[in-house]
Amino acid sequence: MRWPLLVVALLCGCGPLVRWADKQAEARALAARQEYLKENPGLREEQRKAILDGNLYIGMDSRAARLVWGHPYSINRTVTASGEYEQWIYHRTYLYFENGKLTAFQEDVGAP
């Protein structure tokens, strides 16, 4: 009889811990993006804002994309005589890179 109450008590107490961990992860991600911006002072203001806000833009390098969106679920890589091409797969979004630069993205918007 006491076991279910203990489980409920433990589960109810985890909320603040999870929120704290999320805030810590967000702070680390922001610090990593800020460090990237320090290392790349030649970026235009709209590019800098996109990175800080966690947004992608065509032309960003793969390192910045990973800092913005995190690690993809999967990466498909093609190497040809003209260069290296990658498709990064996130849940319903695909990012396309040519020689380390984001050239396109595709979103699965579902059926009409």
pLDDT in tens, 44-54: 999 999 999 99
Inside any domain, residue 75: yes
Nearest alpha carbon to residue 97 among 84, 86, 88: 86
CATH number at residue 26: 3.30.1450
Domain count, the chain: 1
Query: CA 54 to CA 32: how far, in whole Å?
Result: 12
Tell me the pTM: 0.76
The answer as to whether 112 is a domain residue is no
Give the per-residue pLDDT at 5.
47
Model confidence at 35: pLDDT above 90: yes
For residue 70, give every residue at least 6 positions away whose Cβ sits within 8 Å of its Cβ, in sequence order, or none: 29
Contact indicator for 78, 85 with CB cutoff of 8 Å: yes
Beta bridge partners of 106: 94
